[in-house]
């Protein structure tokens, strides 16, 4: 019987080191240890997410969850039991921490049909940052999630905090849409809304980006 030759010791050492890094459950360290296994930020971000195309009159209603809390794994199961799926916006810097979803849970949710989206590394107030810091929060978050095997095409602004510069940063990171918290949610967050009344615009409206926008 023919046996394939054993890999040289240096190759075995690299394989052991790779799986050791993954077992540490520290996403930044795991990404660093993978070396050639991970795409560079430039490679990942060069893969523009496909544009959103809706038929005339088509309406899409989405159920969204922010901040990758551990309890959202139960929410995903409840939706699945009812034939529904949700969108879960993730801060990559919190993945795997106590009280937050793990990458294994996020990958299971994605495989079940849920959408996973970006939400910055640390839930930052983007408009309070300079443009380079905004890019790190938005682009590096997407890179980390995609290098973990997640398909990341949509983004939501933490606190609904966005302006023209921030919107352009999201476009430059090759997201195909971004969501704010909606007019009513902003008023509630500021404790300015004291009475019950209809929102003037849909809460959490998602704004698609034109494919050519840069």
Full pLDDT tens readout for the chain, 214 residues: 544 444 444 444 443 433 333 333 333 333 333 334 455 555 655 565 566 677 898 887 889 999 999 999 999 999 999 999 999 999 999 999 999 999 999 999 999 999 999 999 999 999 999 999 999 999 999 999 999 999 999 999 999 989 999 999 999 999 999 998 765 555 555 555 455 454 454 555 566 655 444 3
CB 85 within 8 Å of CB 112: yes
Task: Kindly report the pTM of this predicted structure.
Answer: 0.66
- Residue-level pLDDT at 212: 40
- Residue-level pLDDT at 49: 56
Domain spans in the chain, listed from the N-terminal domain onward: 10-39, 61-208
Q: Is 179 helix (H, G, I), strand (E, B) or coil?
A: strand
Q: Tokens 């019987």 — which residue? A: 1
- Residue-level pLDDT at 93: 97
Domain 61-208 carries which CATH code? 3.20.20.370
- Residue-level pLDDT at 35: 36
Distance separating alpha carbons of residues 112 and 60, to the nearest angstrom? 19
CB 196 within 8 Å of CB 214: no
Give the CA angle between residues 203, 208, 213 to the nearest 5°: 140
């Amino acid at each position: 019987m023919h046996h394939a030759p054993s890999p040289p010791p240096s190759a075995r050492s690299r394989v052991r080191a790779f799986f050791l890094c993954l077992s540490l459950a520290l996403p930044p360290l795991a990404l660093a240890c993978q070396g050639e296994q991970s795409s560079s930020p430039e490679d990942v971000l060069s893969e523009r997410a496909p544009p959103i195309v809706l038929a005339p009159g088509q309406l899409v209603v989405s159920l969204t969850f922010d901040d990758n809390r551990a309890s959202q794994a139960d929410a995903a199961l409840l939706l699945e039991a009812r034939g529904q799926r949700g969108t879960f916006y993730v801060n990559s810097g919190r993945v795997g921490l106590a009280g937050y979803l793990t990458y294994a849970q996020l990958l299971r949710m994605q495989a079940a049909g849920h959408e996973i989206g970006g939400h910055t590394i640390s839930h930052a107030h983007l408009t309070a940052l300079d443009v380079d810091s905004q890019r790190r929060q938005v682009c590096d978050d997407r890179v980390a999630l995609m290098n973990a095997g997640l398909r990341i095409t949509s983004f939501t602004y933490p606190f609904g905090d966005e302006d023209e510069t921030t919107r352009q940063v999201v476009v430059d990171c090759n997201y195909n849409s971004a969501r704010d918290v909606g007019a009513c949610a902003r008023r509630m967050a500021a404790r300015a809304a004291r009475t019950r009344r209809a929102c003037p615009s849909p809460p959490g409206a998602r704004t698609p980006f034109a494919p050519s926008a840069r």
